[in-house]
Amino acid sequence: MTVTFAQGRGVALNGSVQDPSGARVPWASVVLTEVEKGLSEATTAGADGSFRIEGLEPSASYQVEVHGPVGFVSHRQALDLTADAQLDVTLGMKRVVEAIVVSGTRPARDPAQPRSGRRRIRVGGNVREARLRHHVPATYPADAEREGVTGTVVLEAVIGMDGNPASIATVNSIVDGRLVDAAVKAVRQWRYDPALLNGRPVEVIVTIRVAFELP
Protein backbone atom coordinates (compact mmCIF):
# COMPACT_ATOMS: atom_id res chain seq x y z
CA MET A 1 0.00 0.00 0.00
CA THR A 2 1.25 3.48 -0.85
CA VAL A 3 0.48 6.25 1.60
CA THR A 4 0.93 9.83 0.45
CA PHE A 5 2.31 12.25 3.03
CA ALA A 6 0.43 15.48 3.53
CA GLN A 7 1.75 18.23 1.30
CA GLY A 8 2.70 21.73 2.36
CA ARG A 9 4.62 20.83 5.53
CA GLY A 10 7.70 18.86 6.56
CA VAL A 11 10.84 18.49 4.48
CA ALA A 12 11.42 18.18 0.73
CA LEU A 13 13.61 16.05 -1.53
CA ASN A 14 14.77 17.58 -4.79
CA GLY A 15 16.78 15.64 -7.33
CA SER A 16 17.62 14.61 -10.84
CA VAL A 17 18.22 11.37 -12.75
CA GLN A 18 20.95 11.02 -15.37
CA ASP A 19 22.72 8.32 -17.38
CA PRO A 20 26.47 7.53 -17.29
CA SER A 21 27.17 10.16 -19.97
CA GLY A 22 25.62 12.88 -17.82
CA ALA A 23 22.48 13.24 -19.97
CA ARG A 24 19.18 13.44 -18.10
CA VAL A 25 16.83 10.45 -17.99
CA PRO A 26 13.18 11.51 -18.31
CA TRP A 27 10.16 9.80 -16.74
CA ALA A 28 12.12 7.74 -14.20
CA SER A 29 10.07 6.44 -11.27
CA VAL A 30 11.12 7.63 -7.79
CA VAL A 31 9.79 5.84 -4.68
CA LEU A 32 10.62 7.12 -1.20
CA THR A 33 9.84 4.95 1.85
CA GLU A 34 10.08 5.73 5.55
CA VAL A 35 11.30 2.29 6.60
CA GLU A 36 10.36 2.30 10.28
CA LYS A 37 6.74 3.34 9.64
CA GLY A 38 6.34 1.73 6.23
CA LEU A 39 5.02 4.93 4.65
CA SER A 40 5.78 5.61 1.00
CA GLU A 41 5.56 8.45 -1.49
CA ALA A 42 6.15 8.17 -5.24
CA THR A 43 6.66 10.56 -8.11
CA THR A 44 7.88 10.55 -11.71
CA ALA A 45 10.80 12.61 -12.97
CA GLY A 46 9.88 15.15 -15.61
CA ALA A 47 11.05 15.47 -19.20
CA ASP A 48 14.24 17.12 -17.92
CA GLY A 49 14.95 14.28 -15.48
CA SER A 50 14.24 16.37 -12.37
CA PHE A 51 11.89 15.50 -9.52
CA ARG A 52 10.61 16.92 -6.22
CA ILE A 53 8.78 15.31 -3.30
CA GLU A 54 7.68 17.66 -0.54
CA GLY A 55 5.67 17.52 2.67
CA LEU A 56 7.73 14.64 4.02
CA GLU A 57 7.88 13.78 7.69
CA PRO A 58 11.48 14.38 8.88
CA SER A 59 13.28 11.08 9.46
CA ALA A 60 16.74 9.53 9.15
CA SER A 61 15.24 6.18 8.09
CA TYR A 62 14.22 6.74 4.47
CA GLN A 63 15.05 4.53 1.51
CA VAL A 64 14.85 5.80 -2.04
CA GLU A 65 14.43 3.68 -5.17
CA VAL A 66 14.84 5.06 -8.70
CA HIS A 67 13.71 2.97 -11.66
CA GLY A 68 14.61 4.06 -15.18
CA PRO A 69 13.57 2.81 -18.63
CA VAL A 70 14.48 -0.66 -19.93
CA GLY A 71 18.26 -1.12 -20.11
CA PHE A 72 19.07 0.75 -16.88
CA VAL A 73 19.87 -0.68 -13.45
CA SER A 74 17.59 0.48 -10.64
CA HIS A 75 19.17 2.62 -7.92
CA ARG A 76 18.55 2.07 -4.19
CA GLN A 77 20.04 3.80 -1.17
CA ALA A 78 19.32 4.83 2.41
CA LEU A 79 18.59 8.51 2.91
CA ASP A 80 18.60 10.90 5.87
CA LEU A 81 15.77 13.40 5.45
CA THR A 82 15.82 15.26 8.73
CA ALA A 83 16.12 18.43 6.58
CA ASP A 84 15.57 19.38 2.94
CA ALA A 85 17.93 17.44 0.69
CA GLN A 86 19.20 17.23 -2.90
CA LEU A 87 19.74 13.82 -4.54
CA ASP A 88 21.27 13.47 -8.02
CA VAL A 89 21.18 9.85 -9.20
CA THR A 90 23.20 8.28 -12.02
CA LEU A 91 21.61 5.10 -13.37
CA GLY A 92 24.02 2.48 -14.65
CA MET A 93 23.39 0.28 -17.66
CA LYS A 94 22.49 -3.39 -17.22
CA ARG A 95 24.92 -6.20 -17.96
CA VAL A 96 24.74 -8.49 -20.96
CA VAL A 97 24.55 -12.20 -20.29
CA GLU A 98 25.31 -14.73 -23.02
CA ALA A 99 24.84 -18.47 -22.43
CA ILE A 100 26.36 -20.98 -24.86
CA VAL A 101 26.29 -24.78 -24.62
CA VAL A 102 29.06 -26.88 -26.19
CA SER A 103 28.00 -30.52 -26.59
CA GLY A 104 30.38 -33.43 -26.88
CA THR A 105 30.16 -37.22 -27.00
CA ARG A 106 30.57 -38.99 -23.70
CA PRO A 107 33.09 -41.85 -23.82
CA ALA A 108 32.17 -45.35 -22.71
CA ARG A 109 32.85 -45.54 -18.98
CA ASP A 110 35.40 -48.01 -17.70
CA PRO A 111 33.56 -49.97 -14.99
CA ALA A 112 36.82 -50.19 -13.06
CA GLN A 113 37.05 -46.40 -12.69
CA PRO A 114 34.82 -44.37 -10.35
CA ARG A 115 32.64 -41.59 -11.69
CA SER A 116 34.07 -38.08 -11.57
CA GLY A 117 32.76 -35.87 -8.80
CA ARG A 118 33.26 -32.60 -10.70
CA ARG A 119 30.88 -29.78 -9.88
CA ARG A 120 28.80 -27.77 -12.31
CA ILE A 121 28.50 -24.10 -11.61
CA ARG A 122 25.09 -22.44 -11.99
CA VAL A 123 25.04 -18.70 -12.53
CA GLY A 124 22.47 -16.03 -13.33
CA GLY A 125 22.50 -12.54 -14.63
CA ASN A 126 20.77 -9.70 -16.31
CA VAL A 127 20.23 -8.68 -19.98
CA ARG A 128 21.24 -5.41 -21.60
CA GLU A 129 21.00 -3.81 -25.05
CA ALA A 130 24.12 -5.13 -26.78
CA ARG A 131 23.69 -7.69 -29.57
CA LEU A 132 25.94 -10.60 -30.46
CA ARG A 133 26.17 -10.60 -34.27
CA HIS A 134 29.06 -13.03 -34.93
CA HIS A 135 29.39 -16.15 -32.82
CA VAL A 136 32.30 -18.57 -33.11
CA PRO A 137 31.41 -21.81 -31.28
CA ALA A 138 33.87 -23.19 -28.76
CA THR A 139 35.51 -26.51 -29.58
CA TYR A 140 35.36 -29.23 -26.94
CA PRO A 141 39.00 -30.09 -26.05
CA ALA A 142 39.54 -33.64 -27.29
CA ASP A 143 41.39 -34.86 -24.19
CA ALA A 144 38.81 -33.35 -21.83
CA GLU A 145 36.03 -34.93 -23.89
CA ARG A 146 37.72 -38.35 -23.72
CA GLU A 147 38.05 -38.03 -19.97
CA GLY A 148 34.38 -37.08 -19.58
CA VAL A 149 35.21 -33.63 -18.18
CA THR A 150 32.26 -31.20 -18.07
CA GLY A 151 31.74 -27.74 -16.61
CA THR A 152 30.57 -24.18 -17.17
CA VAL A 153 33.10 -21.43 -17.83
CA VAL A 154 31.95 -18.00 -16.65
CA LEU A 155 33.74 -15.14 -18.37
CA GLU A 156 33.54 -11.38 -17.97
CA ALA A 157 34.61 -9.16 -20.84
CA VAL A 158 34.46 -5.52 -21.85
CA ILE A 159 32.75 -4.99 -25.20
CA GLY A 160 34.46 -2.02 -26.76
CA MET A 161 32.86 0.74 -28.79
CA ASP A 162 33.96 -1.19 -31.89
CA GLY A 163 32.03 -4.27 -30.75
CA ASN A 164 35.15 -6.36 -30.05
CA PRO A 165 35.60 -8.23 -26.74
CA ALA A 166 38.54 -7.10 -24.62
CA SER A 167 39.90 -7.75 -21.12
CA ILE A 168 38.41 -11.23 -20.95
CA ALA A 169 38.65 -12.64 -17.42
CA THR A 170 37.50 -15.91 -15.85
CA VAL A 171 35.00 -15.41 -13.01
CA ASN A 172 34.73 -18.94 -11.60
CA SER A 173 37.62 -21.08 -10.41
CA ILE A 174 36.14 -24.59 -10.03
CA VAL A 175 36.40 -25.46 -13.71
CA ASP A 176 38.93 -27.37 -15.82
CA GLY A 177 41.60 -25.12 -17.34
CA ARG A 178 41.25 -26.77 -20.73
CA LEU A 179 37.62 -25.73 -20.89
CA VAL A 180 38.60 -22.19 -19.90
CA ASP A 181 41.18 -21.97 -22.69
CA ALA A 182 38.69 -23.24 -25.28
CA ALA A 183 36.00 -20.78 -24.15
CA VAL A 184 38.34 -17.78 -24.15
CA LYS A 185 39.72 -18.68 -27.59
CA ALA A 186 36.22 -18.72 -29.04
CA VAL A 187 34.95 -15.58 -27.29
CA ARG A 188 37.93 -13.54 -28.52
CA GLN A 189 36.53 -14.05 -32.03
CA TRP A 190 32.98 -12.93 -31.19
CA ARG A 191 31.73 -9.61 -32.53
CA TYR A 192 28.94 -7.45 -31.15
CA ASP A 193 26.83 -4.57 -32.28
CA PRO A 194 27.98 -2.25 -29.46
CA ALA A 195 25.64 -0.87 -26.84
CA LEU A 196 24.40 2.62 -27.60
CA LEU A 197 23.88 5.41 -25.10
CA ASN A 198 22.05 8.40 -26.50
CA GLY A 199 22.84 7.12 -29.99
CA ARG A 200 26.57 6.76 -29.35
CA PRO A 201 28.55 3.53 -28.82
CA VAL A 202 29.72 2.92 -25.26
CA GLU A 203 31.84 0.27 -23.58
CA VAL A 204 29.86 -2.28 -21.59
CA ILE A 205 30.59 -5.30 -19.43
CA VAL A 206 29.25 -8.65 -20.63
CA THR A 207 29.01 -11.86 -18.63
CA ILE A 208 29.35 -14.96 -20.81
CA ARG A 209 28.60 -18.54 -19.75
CA VAL A 210 30.02 -21.34 -21.89
CA ALA A 211 28.72 -24.75 -20.77
CA PHE A 212 30.59 -27.86 -21.84
CA GLU A 213 28.20 -30.80 -21.55
CA LEU A 214 28.19 -34.50 -22.36
CA PRO A 215 25.07 -36.64 -22.77
Higher pLDDT, 149 or 200: 149
Contacts of 73 (CB under 8 A, 6+ apart): 91, 92, 93, 94, 126
Q: What is the mean pLDDT of residues 96-120?
A: 61
Counting the structural domains of the chain, the total is 2
pLDDT of residue 176: 92
What's the pTM value of the predicted model, to 2 decimals? Answer: 0.56
Query: Residue type for 103, please?
Result: S
User: Does the pLDDT at position 145 exceed 80?
Assistant: yes
Predicted local confidence at residue 118, as pLDDT: 41
Task: Give 121's pLDDT tier (boundaries 50, 70, 90).
Answer: very low
186 vs 129: which has the higher pLDDT: 186
* Residue that terminates a domain, selected from 90, 114, 138: 90
- Mean pLDDT over 120-140 rounds to 63
15 pLDDT higher than 50? yes
Domain that residue 158 falls in: 96-213
In a shared domain, residues 83 and 118: no
Domain termination residue (choose one: 59, 90, 121): 90
Q: Label residue 68 by pLDDT band (50, 70, 90).
A: confident
The 3-state DSSP class for residue 188 equals: coil
For residue 152, what pLDDT is reported?
Answer: 85
Task: Return left, alpha or beta for 189; rule: phi > 0 is left, psi -120 to 50 is alpha, else beta.
Answer: alpha
Q: Is 111 exposed, middle or buried (CB count within 10 Å of its CB: 0-12, 13-18, 19+)? A: exposed
